Chain A
Amino acid sequence: MPINYIYPDYEIIRNPDRCITCRVCERQCANQVHEYIADVDKLSCDDSKCVNCHRCVSLCPTRALKIKRSESTYKENSNWSVKTINELYRQAGSGGVLLSSMGNPENYPIYFDKILLNASQVTNPSIDPLREPMETKVFLGTKPKQIDRNENGSIINNLPPLLRLTMPVMFSAMSYGSISYNAHESLARAAAELGIMYNTGEGGLHEDFIKYGKNTIVQVASGRFGVNPEYLNSGAAIEIKMGQGAKPGIGGHLPGTKIVGDISRTRMIPEHSDAISPAPHHDIYSIEDLRQLVYSLKEATRYQKPVIVKIAAVHNISAIASGIARSGADIIAIDGYRGGTGAAPTRIRDNVGIPIELALASVDERLRQEGIRNNVSIIVGGSIRSSADIVRAIALGADCVYIGTAALLALGCHLCRSCHGGKCNWGIATQEANLVKRLNPEIGYKRLVNLMLAWRHEIKEMMGGMGINSIESLKGNRLMLRGVGLNEKELEILGIKHAGE
């Protein structure tokens, strides 16, 4: 069927002088790219199945393999890119909606890369985190409205429930089902060791992980999978998922083939039934309904847990956030359009939503103008790629960030963006037992801890350079930021000055 033919995106180059036909590549590739041809005692490969996950490249003992972008191309056209043409061919063939995974990879502006940080010179001293205390502890939640004193005049502790974190980072929601048991165990153990939180996503909480409850955020999403009183009370906080940056306005769909064994039990749905999360919560069609769910969850947990409302960054984000800040929620999580996903319709992922930097800046400013910024803490995600992005986010006004993709990279993800295929060669986004076991949680959790400790140290170095020795003095401190190559409007929305001003 030549009309259907699409030339493979990648070309696998095997150096025959180095290849020792050990067949590791053949065994490691769940996509069955490599094949041993016994007659000639050689390995051959089918490039068309390759997703460029680098599993074979990483494990080849003689570095005989490399993967290149294939050079075959259509006639050059600035308007019709190869990607666009191929996607169109696929849809003409199947009549289906295109699916993608991980965050929006398209060439939109990345505002974090156009914001530079400040440092002290002469008029005040920088502070060395190796010599002086440098504080990164954060508390998330609402603040008391008034100070109460007892008859002796001492202040009465009227603090509402708070999330207490050693650094302003948490692992964002990724469900058991979308990622593997071993990936969840790695995240949970790392969160516990670091004194931060991981998030169950909408897949419920596996019974083995209840013991990490102090470091767990339990999610309540539109499908309500795995939600019960014990679940709600197991975590440190409850997150209502209203939206996700990768697919604003869209629900979720975990295919029945993945709903097996523990996953079916944890989600509390029958095996092999599709797990469909509706686009909206069917008990929330407006802001007043959200308030009812917030308080239902608070009642169910006796007002002991802060409630997070997670929303995707969309056009009217600041008005929506303002509504949420008056809804009884303690924390708002905003997910930018670069945020990751296990599977989303390509057109939604690549075309809907707004950058997190702009969403954060306008929400923080709006809540301040309305005098309700202290009603809620703000968490942002999608996509935080380094400690410098964290510093920028905090200085723009966030209390804390969520990282998803960065955490998966630490576990071995090579960003091949094929999670929706369910054949993750790194044992992360798969439920196939022989693949899952490739991710050793013992190693995985240590790599997450390493990453976070490295970032924490870098955050301290950057804060110290600015002469700031506590993270709360960085929060919303936009004078520490300068834009480069941004126009007046962008600077105005970000609330920062241009470099040189």
Chain B
Amino acid sequence: MQREGQIRIPSGCAISGIINKSGKRMSGEAIIKSIAVMHDRSNGLGGGFAAYGIYPEYKDYYALHIFYDSPYAKKECEEFIERHFDIINLSKIPTRKIKEITDEPLIWRYFVIPLHTKLYESQLEERDFTEKCVFRINTRIDGAYVFSSGKNMGVFKAVGFPEDVGRFYRLDEYEGFSFTAHGRYPTNTPGWWGGAHPFALLDYSVVHNGEISSYDANRRAIEMYGYKCTLQTDTEVITYIIDYLNRKKKLTFNEIASVIAAPFWQTIERMPNEEKELHEYLRIVFAEQLITGPFSIIVAFDGGLMALNDRLKLRSMVVGEKDDTTYIASEEAAIRIIEPDLDTVWSPKGGEPVIIRVTGGEAKCR
């Protein structure tokens, strides 16, 4: 069977997210409980988590999480990493043997920083350099796949139900200020671990439920700016769009929401002049980054997260708040299981972003 990247595989899903605005760290146990409630929204062919604030002792280093199909791939990849980065620490990612999760690849973690000389030669900024190296590994080194490359954050994913994936990666032993989770319901898959979600690039990670109808328009547009959509999944292209708009075009997350889930022209017509001009500008300039078709996404980044629905709200998504913690999930039950006593709970409108920023603790606010 063909893997993600060789064929396009549609999938339905469950998503969940938790963030503490004060930057207080919590264990990964809650997010596992939350996503487990939505067991029936996944089919055991993919689950995963993104956790922020988990590596405070290495917060200045890029944490590369890598799957290897073979020791040869590992050897080749490590040689590449050594040529381009200073490796501060490396280890196997600790896992728990459980019967639900099988056929695991070699799973390694490296804390790295670009080599000064290489960085200088490349004339790139540090993050651009790291991004380029990640693309190089994923497209050129057969059997090696970087699935997490941010600072002070990490993605943990596998083929299986998400709650089993959480236990497998011992997520309950990590502490972070924000977590997102994904349970996957692909219509067909060979069960490749790299194809599970979240999808991440640098410190951006995306969990997504939906099937976007604009996929190939988005893909062909973003590939023009040096991104390579190797997995052919919606989540991958959404992540690149967000990286492009935020990191390269310096748009704010509110502006990004207005690009990817743009208000309808008839809504823009009714806006006050200044707002109308801005929205018209964003729709014209970033027309190719408009995403149509059903989606609910949680974008996590260094310093916060954004939850967003497509402009027709064709997928469910609920937000709840309790003190300084915000919960987001495909279903309200997935929030109630971890916090039955919410201050508020609501369903954001289509195209209306919910942006949460962390103001204290380990996270930097940008």
Contacts and interface: CB of A to CB of B under 8 A. Distances in A.
Interface of A: 120, 123-125, 127, 132-133, 135, 137, 139, 143-144, 147, 154-155, 157, 159, 162, 368, 371, 373-374, 466-470, 472-480
Given A472-B290, A473-B292, A154 B278 contact: yes
A468 B218 CA distance: 12
Contact of B294 (A125, A373, A374, A479): A125
24 contacts: A120-B213, A124-B210, A124-B211, A124-B212, A124-B314, A125-B294, A125-B314, A133-B266, A135-B264, A147-B250, A155-B255, A155-B278, A159-B284, A368-B223, A373-B221, A374-B224, A467-B211, A469-B292, A473-B213, A473-B214, A473-B291, A477-B214, A477-B215, A479-B216
A144 B286 CA distance: 10
Contacts of B277: 157
B224 A143 contact: no
A124 B288 contact: no
> Which of A124, A133, A373, A467 neighbours the largest number of chain B CB atoms within 10 Å of its CB?
A124
Contacts of B101: none
A139 B220 contact: no
B281 interface: yes
A483 to B, nearest CB: 15
B1 interface: no
A478 B218 CA distance: 11
Nearest to A134: B264
A371 B211 contact: no
Interface string B282-306: 1111011011111000000000000
A162 B284 CA distance: 10
A474 B294 contact: no
A476 B287 contact: no
Contact of A144 (B11, B221, B285): B285
Contact of B292 (A155, A157, A467): A467
A477 B292 CA distance: 12
A47 B61 CA distance: 88
Given A123-B10, A123-B187, A371-B224, A468 B214 contact: yes
A474 B187 CA distance: 24
A120 B224 CA distance: 27
Interface in B269-283: 277-278, 281-283
B12 interface: yes
Residue from B187, B249, B281 having most chain A Cβ neighbours under 10 A: B281
A139 B278 contact: no
Looking at B216, B221, B251, B278, the one whose CB has the most chain A CB atoms below 10 A away is B216
Contacts of A137: 265
B90 interface: no
B312 interface: yes
Nearest to B283: A472
A132 B293 contact: no
Contact of B284 (A120, A139, A371, A373): A139
B294 A472 contact: no
Contacts of A371: 224-225
Contacts of A374: 224, 288
B312 A132 contact: yes
A293 to B, nearest CB: 27
B8 interface: yes
B217 interface: yes
Given A123-B10, A123-B12, A139-B287, A368 B281 contact: no
Contacts of A480: 216
Contacts of A132: 312
Interface in B221-251: 221, 223-225, 249-251
Interface in B13-56: none
B8 A472 contact: no
Contacts of A479: 8, 215-216
Contacts of B210: 124
A470 B292 contact: yes
A479 B229 CA distance: 14
B249 A147 contact: yes
B291 A155 contact: no
A147 B294 contact: no
The 3 closest A-B pairs by CB, nearest first: A473-B214, A467-B213, A479-B216
A373 B215 CA distance: 18
A157 B224 CA distance: 24
Contacts of A474: 217
Contacts of B288: 374, 472, 475-476
Contacts of A127: 312
A368 B223 CA distance: 8
Given A368-B224, A373-B224, A472 B217 contact: yes
B283 to A, nearest CB: 8
Contacts of B262: 470
B294 A124 contact: yes
A65 B5 CA distance: 62
Contacts of A159: 281, 284-285
Nearest to A141: B284
A466 B213 contact: yes
A478 B282 CA distance: 24
Contacts of A470: 262, 290, 292
B150 to A, nearest CB: 24
A442 to B, nearest CB: 31
A475 B290 CA distance: 11
B220 A478 contact: yes
Nearest to A367: B224
Contact of B290 (A154, A155, A473): A473
B217 A469 contact: no
Contacts of B287: 139, 472, 475
A162 to B, nearest CB: 7
Contact of A123 (B211, B264, B281): B211
A261 B318 CA distance: 71
Given A468-B293, A476-B217, A476-B221, 8 more contacts: A123-B10, A124-B212, A135-B264, A139-B284, A139-B287, A472-B283, A475-B287, A479-B216
Nearest to B284: A139
B247 to A, nearest CB: 13
Contact of B281 (A157, A466, A468, A473): A157
A473 B265 CA distance: 14
Contacts of B224: 368, 371, 373-374
A415 B12 CA distance: 51
Nearest to B291: A473
B216 A155 contact: no
Nearest to A467: B213
A19 to B, nearest CB: 56
Q: Interface centre among A155, A374, A470, by most B CB within 10 Å?
A: A470
Nearest to A369: B224
Nearest to B210: A124
A148 B11 CA distance: 38
Contacts of B10: 123-124
Contacts of A124: 10, 210-213, 293-294, 314
Give the residue among A127, A143, A371, A477 with the most B Cβ atoms within 10 A.
A477
Contacts of B265: 133, 135, 137
Contact of A477 (B216, B282, B284, B311): B216
B216 A147 contact: no
Nearest to A480: B216
Contact of B217 (A133, A154, A467, A477): A477
A193 B266 CA distance: 19
Nearest to B220: A476
Nearest to A147: B249
B216 to A, nearest CB: 4
